[in-house]
Amino acid sequence: MLFHTLTFWVFFALFLAIYWRLGLRGQNILLLVATNFFYGWWDWRFLPLIWYLVSVDFFIGRQLGRESRPSFRKGWVALSLISNLGLLFVFKYLNFFAGETCHLMGLFGYACDVPGWIKNIILPLGISFHTFQTVSYIMDVYRRKEAPVQRWVDYALFCGFFPQLLAGPIERSSTLMPQLFTPRQPLSADDFSEGLYHLMVGFFKKVVIADNMAVLVNHIFSLPPEQLSAWEVLLGSYAFAFQVYGDFSGYSSMAQGIAKWMGFNLSWNFKIPFLATSPQVFWQRWHITLSTWLRDYLFMPLMRMTWLQGMTKVYAVAIIVQLASGVWHGANWTFLFWGLLHGVYLCLQLWLTRRGWFAEPPAGSSLLRRMPWIIGTFHLMCVGMILFRADNIGQAGALFMAFGSRWQITEFVIYGLAQLLLFAGPLMVFEGWLETKKDHLALLKVSWPARTSVYAVMLLMIWFLPPENTHEFIYFQF
């Protein structure tokens, strides 16, 4: 069930009609039933896998709470990591590694083919998000930052809260778990208004921006790179940047709105990233729950190691963390090099800053004052988007080579830029206004006629400017 389809809204309307008539225990039971139905709608065969993962980590969490011997506690953590990361490897990476192994063996004259059962492995939806969320819980219990959950139902709800089940945000037990135990107040006018805001913005981003940009992107990246001019490749990177942003942040926004109408507050996953003034600020605004997860559970532990010292350690760890981010996104060399590129960006920014050769505009600077840094950062991100979207490293390399060829403005380039302006332009104007207000909910604080006018524009564009075909959310494949 996609959030922007009639099927989901029939399901959600029936769910809400029952949900708000129940007490806390009844709501949680209904939530668990709805979560299983929601996930099973995609493919019921993966439900036992989800139950297995939930049960293993629930048991390990309780054992960590009871165990005091350090070696045994480390053993339980290792068992959890093997269970979670092992299954993630099988479903997400085994086919890639098997294929690369066969390719390597072929170079030495040994015939090899990937077994059919490996080729036919299907990636369960949301498994990467589920893995990171459960690993954070186990690590927090191990560090004694959180108490272990004592009831399987409560832990299952934490792992399978259906608004954010398939594509995040990646919630921590410290933020989501207390909300599962606390009685929810009846839906107020303010909560309804905020939920509606998130849903309207999310629908607009997904239907108007992401799905329309997908038409441009799919056309450009389906052509042989040698047929593309430099401007067409650049157009493709622009379009894909807005497709990914509209798609992923649209899902996160809709998840926030749906959760709000259920009495929950989910984490902000995006905070106007295309107005970032540097790569570091970009990652503070883009996929925030993944960035903070990598900081807390990978960067900081690696920084405590002593095999490297000083800035060499900082640069090395930054590269490792960004490589891990790339690997998390998918089993393809393109994602690995995408992560490496962003690691280089961060290290280069830090190196230049330490030498006084790079400085962002002072805090509180106007949007116009920051614009050169914003444009520069956006283009750095678009270079990475070519790697992110390319089918393989060969195609990515050929697309980069196109920048050294014809800088010809064709009719298609003019058409594509007009599409970008039509679909993404209104959002950037709106987000620029939010940036000047320094409040992501500023629209809720204006007069109701002004707010209604903005919603009316969104609805008209959603109604009259959808593409012929809708698309699944991009991050479902991650």
H/E element, 253: helix 230-260
Q: Measured in whole angstroms, how far is the alpha carbon of residue 213 from the centre of its chain?
A: 18
How far apart are alpha carbons 240 and 217 in whole angstroms? 6
The verdict on whether omega for the bond into residue 273 sits within 30 degrees of 0, i.e. cis, is no
Report yes or no: 237 and 221 within 8 Å, Cβ to Cβ.
no
Distance of CA 22 to the CA centre of its chain: 33
- Selecting among 4, 130, 198, 329, the annotated active-site residue is 329
Q: For residue 259, count CB atoms less than 10 angstroms from its CB and return exposed for 0-12, middle for 13-18, buried for 19 or more.
A: buried
Nearest to 269 by CA among 250, 293, 286, 246: 286
CB-based contact 217:419 (threshold 8 Å): no
* Residue 368: partners with Cβ closer than 8 Å, 6 or more residues away: none
3-state secondary structure (DSSP) of residue 47: helix
Cα distance between residue 375 and residue 431, in whole Å: 15
State the DSSP code for 281.
H
* Residue 329 known to be catalytic: yes
- What DSSP assignment string belongs to 110-156? ------HHHHTPPPPTTHHHHHHHHHHHHHHHHTTSSPPP--HHHHH
Question: Do 273 and 291 form a contact (C-beta atoms < 8 A)?
Answer: no
Helix axes 448-464, 411-437, angle to 10 degrees: 160
Residues carrying an active site annotation: 329
